[in-house]
Structure 1
Amino acid sequence: TKQVSDVVVEADKTVEVNVTLEQASSQLDEVVVTTTVSKNTEASVLNLQKNSVTLMDGLSLEAIKTTGASNIASAIKSVPGVSVQEGKYVFVRGLGDRYTKSILNGMDIPGLDPDKNTVQMDIFPTNILENVIVLKSAAAELPADFTGGVVNIVTKDFPTQKQMSISASVGFNPDMHFKDNYVTYEGGGTDFLGFDDGTRDLPISKETDIPNPSNSAENGTLEGITRSFNKTLATQRENSKPDFSLGFSYGNQFNVGDNKLGFIASIDHKNTTTFYEGFENGIYQKSPDSDVNELRFDRIQQGDLGSNNVLTSFLTGLSFKTGKSKYKLNLLHIQNGETKAAFFNQETQLSNDIDVVRDNLEYYERAVSNLLLSGKHTSDDASFITEWSLSPTMVNVNDKDVRLTTFIIDPDGFSISSDAGFPQRLWRELKEVNAVGKVDFSKSYEMFGNKSMLKFGGLYSYKQREYDIQNYNIAFRNFATAGLNGDPDAILADENIWTVESGSGAYIRGNFQPANSYDSDQQTTAAYLSNEFKFSDKFRAILGVRAEQFITHFTGQNNTGTEVFDNEKTIDELDFFPSANLIYGMKENINFRFSYSKTTARPSFKELSVVQITDLLTGRLFIGNPELTPTYIDNFDFRFEVFGDRAQMVAFSSFYKKFEDPIEIVAYSNVAPNQITPRNAPSADVFGVELEARKNFGFISESLNDLSLNLNISVIDSKIEMAKGEDQEFETRQIFARDGETIEDTRQLQGQSPYLINVGLNYNNRENGFETGLFYN
């Protein structure tokens, strides 16, 4: 036997390999040719799609480079049925973030935003990617907690030869950059690296007992506490800088005897500035007169909003490959810091008839560290494969010294009072640890004379979150705030700070709310069994079932102390999730697919709690609900797909989803529309169709083979049954109905997009390496 390895075959090309065999006997037993399959090209992703047991779409590194996208959130918009909200949150098939699950190299990762159920995709730079796979139908080996889709972020594998790349880019938006009225504030010395240098740290211990002001000398510590806080409270104006990014990656593979050792390292740094002049948001209400159809505003907020976002990522990994095994160790760290500042004029009419000006200073620091240790082992006859993975992840999210200062506009100047709220300082800290371990086994065998595959395995996942908000106010004793002349920086000036001797001035006052501090954990234990078999050469079926036990505990209390939870079990559910995927291969390149699966959507840590959190920008109050139950969904999918050469294809899909107990964010009561809470609705239905086409123009002329069109369209309709009863959504809508208006007991599902359109015109000349494209979403 003679083995020829390291033969690289590029897409759409033929590689000739000349092999001379020495005569050993009169009979030739075996010739083995081994190669490594590239996974980062359009052709490779389409091949995965064609042979997948589930409905899937994907995005290759090759396609990402064509779009010029710098992060996943920007790139993934071209995947059929995928949209991006707020520039970072991925929705699949128009369903909200609750129904989309994100995994990293097949393993669970926690999100960075406590207000969302999915991972922010803008934190993943494209230079660490191999591809992004979006799975739209379930299988037993996949997690059960998704409905729209599973987004699997696959980081770079190890090259077969040395590769090195250096990249740099500059971005300019005439509406945002080189603006001399860009609003910001003075931060720390390491902001440009994506983390705070301690400038914004809480200057006192969280347990510090802050005294009230008095003439007693023993309360002199109040002066020291007040002086320890950062005095900067006002925004400032400066010239906004353009966006820029820097990247470097290196990889290689070495022979170690008969084995191979691979290495990869990548670092990426991005600095992005956004500036919105004339930013506006408001709260509007219906008139109490049912014959008035126009909305009236309660509050309108207008002004300028500036943001500088710094993202640094580092990926490194080792792989060791033997003849029958492969081991991988990957380390990924992402560091993100965002400085935000805003200056608003605010007019309030209904709840409090005042006009104010407000300075917002905000800083958000986020860090993700992920370790992946995995192995794959193949038996001598390649009929039995074992794969295992261990992946701990640590997440730290800190909102550091968020400052809100509001002055009331008086006829003869400015003042501060409880009517508009005293100046506020806030620190929010979230720590989350996620540990996941899983093992998968697959056994090839024959059934009905055809090749079949039996799969089974298990998973254990543990998530633990600590959440805490420390809130402080700046109050005044015997002090006329009109003398500040509307200058926030004058509030903590040395001469204006309260002292025992003067008995007047500004001082720090604690405003801790017990509901905003909690500990919680989630445990998922899963086992699955599935079997892939063929009825004939053209028809195959994949049938399976997954069992998941989901347990969550909560420790915390409400603000009044009437509800106290001490590591109490809030959910304990053992569920079985069947799945069936049927595939009829009409021809080698044509598939008919049908899929059924049962999945779930579970409440988040924050939702399944008693927290009461105020959004600093909108003033909206979120109230947790420990009575929530999981949502269960029956999913039906159909797809017809045709694959051509040169990464061409066309596909038509339709789907239907039936929801039981969907979770929606609704008004807490009909007298408090600015207070929101999650609640289970009775049921919901979602219908949709998708069309995808990738076609080059070579059918017109051979010279147009390098020009291609990508088109995908999704049309989706949803209907949810509103909850009925006192203070429930249906009754609230009836109370505020207009004359002659009929209130139906159904509406569209929250966050559901009625349609999605993605179009791309690409030119890719492989011979000279020139690529360009024009895209619309």
Structure 2
Amino acid sequence: MKKLFAQILFFFSAFAFAQETGTIAGALSDKEMNNEPLPFANVTVKNTSKGTTSDFDGLYKIENIPTGTYTIVFSFIGYETVEIPNVKVEADKVIEINTGLGASAAALDEVMITTVSRRDSEVALLLDQKDAVDIKESIGSQELTKLGVSDAATATTKISGVSSSEASGDVYVRGLGDRYLYTTLNGLPVPSDNIDKKNIDLGLFPTRVVQSVSVSKNFSAENSADQSSGSVNINSKSLVGLSELGFGAQVGVNTNAIGEENFKQSVNSNDISLGFYNQKTASEDAIVNQNWNTESRKLPMNYKYTVTAGKKFGEKFKVLFTGSQSSNFEYNEGIFQQFNRNIDDSKFNDATYYRNTVNTTGLIDLKYAFNKKNEVRALSMFVNKMTDEVYESGRNREGFVFEEVNNEDQYGQYVKDQNTKQTKLWVNQILGDHEIGERNHLTWGLGYNQVDADEPNRLRNEVNIKKATDTDPELIELANQGGFQQRRSSQIIDDLEYNARLKNEFKVFENDTVSSLKISAGGNFRYKTRDFESDKFGVDEAGAPGQVTPPSIDDLNAIFTQENFDNGNLNLITQSKSDTYDGELNSASGFVSFNYGIKKFNFNLGARYQKDEINVDYDVAGAPGGREGSTTKDYSNIYPAINIKYALNNKNNFRLAASKTITLPEFKEISPFPYVSPTNQIVVGNLDLEASNVYNLDAKWEFFPTNKELISVTGFYKSIQDPINKTFLRGSSGYFTYYNTSDKAEVYGLELEANLGLIKSDNEKGVNLDMSFNFTRMWHEQDLKTIYGEDGNIESTFKYNNKSEVGLEGASDYILNTALNLSTNWEREFNANVSANYASDKIYAIGSAPDSQTVSDSKLYNNEIIEKGFVILNTTISQEITDKINLSFKANNLLNPKIERTQDVYDFASDREYSETTRSYKNGVSVSLGVNYKF
């Protein structure tokens, strides 16, 4: 494979010819009509053949201008011609020239000239969105900086119909969560940093490495068909200009965490250095050679520092490096409960999390431009995410676990879970962009990704606290209903992935005033493997319970001594063999699309053939049908897509899109390994899970009031065949798993978006106020299915509590994102931004029926678990001090809402249902001060 990469790179390098170019874009206004947009004005680059005309909004763009210094000429019949001399066009930049034309020539001080990166200015991205055939929205680094956005995850929430869950961290597009989304970096798939999720945490991409973030809400043939709500693509930055050198630092606190006088950390924190964990003792040996008690620290302060450096060498070679490290402390406390068949399985009203996350990110980008029209780019991104967690519940002596003791007056349960998760993600890409002749535009990419997601030394203690009485003191006993309730475990995951993309766009003919035809063809390849291994080592009492008693819950380590093992008081329990599974994904596809434009219409018709094969071989204790086994999922389909755009005029677009896509199951969703959360909730994959086929329909109207404003309305409909849902399985030991719970689910909704300038001032001491607003209303439902055997009897059913219909997991009825941004025209720019995000209630997990042989109205069911809606309010203030220094203040989660999950539970005594809180907590307010310095 390495030889193949080298040969392909050599081939493209040997035949590549490139020339650096820039873009001139901007907006023209009519001085004779109160500075309204001026359409149909001529814009030319003097002494060249380059030129264009402004559209109905006064917008214009001239691309592929060779670097150099030019005179730009603006003219309109009956108006004075304006010439702007000494306009310097730089490689990979957009020169924005905004001016007005009238009966008298504009003075040069009336002309506004700014220089930005090629695709990160608001004007450039708005033009791209306006010209695009598919339904796509983008936000660039220029606007992200203005809004005070620090990462790509937050950036997506500025786009209509997109929300982020504070509880799960997932990004939802049109209310559909992780499994329906597809994430790429520069058009190539990027692996998740969390094996429980399909998509990478977009919060790992700080905005300084982002050129733009785009969300495509409908499918086009050149993209993977494994998307149903849409796809997110992050375009990473390359060096702009000749050089760059900057440094940033930020310090802050989380109000919850800083309030803890002794912030708890796992015992593993002693082996963490500079955000990297180095395990010094194997988990089995650590039973007696490492402490079982937690560590603590004072003043848990958040910090972040960044450095960016870049330089152009000669005329062809550019290098950019950016690196950062951030450390964040979080603490929350609240309720945790779990009900199984309407019976309280466990209950804690003091469930607490202490969490410290250290992210270390480095990106190096190399770009080499040959002569003529082609370039090759290579980048490598490394992310190390270290999360140290301590979970405790039952410290108040009121904890309850059904399987241990059923006498809350005499006993309470206490649980402590210490875990260090370290994920190392390495993304490598080689990208090519080639113009071959006048008609062919070839782009390609090769990628190699590696993920090591490890939990190398997890500690768990479960004890029973016999409450003190008038005659007897409190007594700590080891929990005894399992054998592994005092344990150390390790979990190792290694993911490797090779991927590639190739696209050639051929211009059959192009006539700007009449018609054009372009044909695109290419393919994609993805090969991914996963090696998973889990081991655990337990400790149990040799005799009757209560023979070995720790002095307190804060000194459980006192009993884990070599002496207690040598004298037979404690036994070491080990698995007979490791739990393992190996996953393999093979995905290969080819596509062709035709883009035909005639007058005001543009038709894009495409089809993609994609073959996906997923294989999982497992060796897991307790797996259905025996410890060892395998499962194979094979899907070969043609996925059609049609996108139609009608430009009523230069101010209005109408769009229509229809497509078929697929939602593939993930490795963890079909692997029968039971993962136990700190709260003791278990998630197990389902060998019988199948992919979902999705049919999509979108209609959109776009209105551009001015050159920087947009109002749009979108209607969408999705029919999901065999939807995948997470459900809580009934039984003597309840657990979460994944099922195709219905034959069909339907989702439809409306989106409203508005980006408007409320106040605009040309005064050098004036202020500007902009507002962005997007609102989504969704309706969604699925018919829960029942499977009958040949004899007519029920084999299994997903109907529960007389419900045959229920909403879709993860989908919110309402989504609202809005922001107000204040900026000044002062010599030293000032920006202030307030943003709010709201997503209404969503289903966290589907409910379940009593069992496969009983009727659906039995009371031994589980209702769905609901994640309640909440509002997130953030603000950012920044002030430019000098040309090189900028100060900023950020406050996130100002309202500090309660994050809450609820479940309707049937009470057998009163014969009625009532709502119970199954999880609740507050994350606290995060505030920070930052400084950035550009050399």
Q: TM-score range by the shorter chain?
A: 0.7 to 0.9
Is 1:476–2:541 an aligned residue pair? yes
Which of these residues, 134, 141, 150, is aligned with residue 70 of structure 1?
150
User: What is the 5 A alignment of 1:106-117?
Assistant: 106-117=187-198
Maintained 8 Å contact 2:620/2:628: no
| Distance change (3 Å), C-alpha of 1:588 and 1:313 | same
User: What is the 5 A alignment of 1:106-255?
Assistant: 106-177=187-258, 179-188=260-269, 191-199=272-280, 202-203=282-283, 225=285, 229-255=288-314
Aligned residue identity for 2:335: E
User: What is the 5 A alignment of 1:550-629?
Assistant: 550-560=612-622, 563=625, 570-615=632-677, 617-629=678-690
**Residue 139 of structure 2: aligned partner:** 59
Distance 1:370 1:647 in 2: 35
Aligned residue identity for 2:808: L
Distance 1:61 1:753 in 2: 29
More off after superposition, 360-369 vs 229-238: 229-238
Is 1:347–2:403 an aligned residue pair? no
Distance 2:260 2:672 in 1: 43
* Alignment deviations for residues 575-605 of structure 1 (CA, whole Å, 9 cap, x no partner): 0000000000111232100000100001100
**Residue 768 of structure 1: aligned partner:** 828
More off after superposition, 562-571 vs 451-460: 562-571
Deviation at 1:8, TM superposition (A): 7.0
Distance 2:584 2:496 in 1: 9
**Residue 279 of structure 1: aligned partner:** 334
Maintained 8 Å contact 1:235/1:342: no
Maintained 8 Å contact 2:822/2:833: yes
Deviation at 1:443, TM superposition (A): 0.2
* Alignment deviations for residues 282-334 of structure 1 (CA, whole Å, 9 cap, x no partner): 1135658xxxxxxx674335243211110010000111113121100101001
Aligned residue identity for 1:343: E
**Residue 775 of structure 2: aligned partner:** 713
* Alignment deviations for residues 347-369 of structure 1 (CA, whole Å, 9 cap, x no partner): 22644425212222111101110
Distance 2:20 2:295 in 1: 63
Is 1:402–2:451 an aligned residue pair? no
**Residue 540 of structure 1: aligned partner:** 602
Distance 1:521 1:648 in 2: 47
**Residue 320 of structure 1: aligned partner:** 368
Which of these residues, 449, 452, 461, is aligned with residue 526 of structure 2?
461
Distance 1:663 1:238 in 2: 43
More off after superposition, 329-338 vs 76-85: 76-85
Distance 1:497 1:126 in 2: 54
Deviation at 1:676, TM superposition (A): 3.1
Which of these residues, 418, 423, 426, is aligned with residue 369 of structure 1?
426
Maintained 8 Å contact 2:375/2:433: yes
Maintained 8 Å contact 1:554/1:566: no
Distance 1:446 1:573 in 2: 37
Structure 1 unpaired stretches of 5+: 22-30, 205-224, 289-295, 738-742
Is 1:759–2:824 an aligned residue pair? no
Deviation at 1:621, TM superposition (A): 2.2
* Alignment deviations for residues 485-535 of structure 1 (CA, whole Å, 9 cap, x no partner): 444443455464412xxx234343213676x4100101001000000002x
Distance 2:137 2:580 in 1: 40
Structure 2 unpaired stretches of 5+: 1-18, 30-42, 49-63, 68-88, 95-117, 468-473, 788-793, 838-935
Deviation at 1:51, TM superposition (A): 1.6
**Residue 919 of structure 2: aligned partner:** none
**Residue 291 of structure 1: aligned partner:** none
Aligned residue identity for 2:465: I
| Distance change (3 Å), C-alpha of 1:679 and 1:471 | farther
Which of these residues, 641, 645, 653, is aligned with residue 702 of structure 2?
641
Maintained 8 Å contact 1:192/1:310: no
Aligned residue identity for 2:647: G
3-state SS in 2 of match to 1:176? helix
* Alignment deviations for residues 172-204 of structure 1 (CA, whole Å, 9 cap, x no partner): 2333225313222343456352221223x5355
Aligned residue identity for 1:348: F
| Distance change (3 Å), C-alpha of 1:506 and 1:776 | same
Deviation at 1:707, TM superposition (A): 1.1
CA RMSD of aligned residues (A): 2.9
**Residue 41 of structure 1: aligned partner:** 121
Maintained 8 Å contact 1:706/1:765: yes
**Residue 99 of structure 2: aligned partner:** none
Distance 2:240 2:289 in 1: 50
Which of these residues, 144, 151, 161, is aligned with residue 81 of structure 1?
161
Maintained 8 Å contact 1:180/1:237: no
Is 1:531–2:606 an aligned residue pair? no
Which of these residues, 365, 381, 389, is aligned with residue 332 of structure 1?
381
Q: How many residues align?
A: 716
* Alignment deviations for residues 700-757 of structure 1 (CA, whole Å, 9 cap, x no partner): 99787621001011111110111214474544x1xxx3xxxxx341110011111111
* Alignment deviations for residues 201-230 of structure 1 (CA, whole Å, 9 cap, x no partner): 5355xxxxxxxxxxxxxxxxxxxx466x54
Maintained 8 Å contact 1:112/1:397: yes
| Distance change (3 Å), C-alpha of 1:20 and 1:100 | closer
| Distance change (3 Å), C-alpha of 1:657 and 1:704 | farther
| Distance change (3 Å), C-alpha of 1:576 and 1:153 | same
Aligned residue identity for 1:576: I
Deviation at 1:128, TM superposition (A): 1.1
Distance 1:407 1:189 in 2: 25
3-state SS in 2 of match to 1:47? helix
| Distance change (3 Å), C-alpha of 1:54 and 1:192 | farther
3-state SS in 2 of match to 1:498? helix
More off after superposition, 140-149 vs 693-702: 693-702
User: What is the 5 A alignment of 1:495-514?
Assistant: 496-499=563-566, 503-511=567-575
3-state SS in 1 of match to 2:747? strand
TM-score normalized by the length of structure 1? 0.86
Distance 1:103 1:710 in 2: 26
TM-score normalized by the length of structure 2? 0.72
* Alignment deviations for residues 457-508 of structure 1 (CA, whole Å, 9 cap, x no partner): 0111101001111111122335822254444443455464412xxx234343
3-state SS in 1 of match to 2:356? strand
Distance 1:7 1:112 in 2: 36
3-state SS in 1 of match to 2:336? strand
Is 1:445–2:525 an aligned residue pair? no
Deviation at 1:395, TM superposition (A): 0.4
Distance 2:558 2:569 in 1: 9
3-state SS in 1 of match to 2:125? helix
Maintained 8 Å contact 2:440/2:504: yes
Aligned residue identity for 1:75: A
Distance 2:134 2:641 in 1: 10
| Distance change (3 Å), C-alpha of 1:151 and 1:562 | closer
Is 1:269–2:334 an aligned residue pair? no
Distance 2:179 2:560 in 1: 46
3-state SS in 2 of match to 1:187? helix
3-state SS in 1 of match to 2:279? coil
User: What is the 5 A alignment of 1:14-33?
Assistant: none
Distance 2:383 2:705 in 1: 39
| Distance change (3 Å), C-alpha of 1:492 and 1:70 | farther
